[in-house]
Amino acid sequence: HNDVLTGLYADLGDLLRDYLRGDVGPELRPENHMDHGRLVEAIRAGDAETAAAEAASHALTCLTDRV
């Protein structure tokens, strides 16, 4: 592992989480976004078609929740 890249990605994750918390609000907690399980499993299985469908579905859900 590259310590510089590991630190960079950890910092990036923190920044993204802070940004999303400001945008989405305090309800951004793991128990509120566990619906990513099917997407993660599709990625792990190398199933690009299912992963793309899950990602698109999640993105559309996020948009409709805000309208």
* Domain regions of the chain by residue span: 1-32, 35-67
Q: List pLDDT tens digits, range 5-42.
A: 888 888 888 887 777 777 666 665 665 555 678 888 99
Radius of gyration for the chain, computed over Cα atoms and rounded to the nearest angstrom: 14
* This model's pTM is above 0.85: no
pLDDT of 67 reads 46
| pLDDT reported for residue 48 | 94
- Say whether pLDDT at 63 is over 60: no
* DSSP per position, 7-59: HHHHHHHHHHHHHHHHHH-TT--GGGSGGGHHHHHHHHHT-HHHHHHHHHHHH
Residue 30 structure tokens: 């793991």
pLDDT for 35: 66
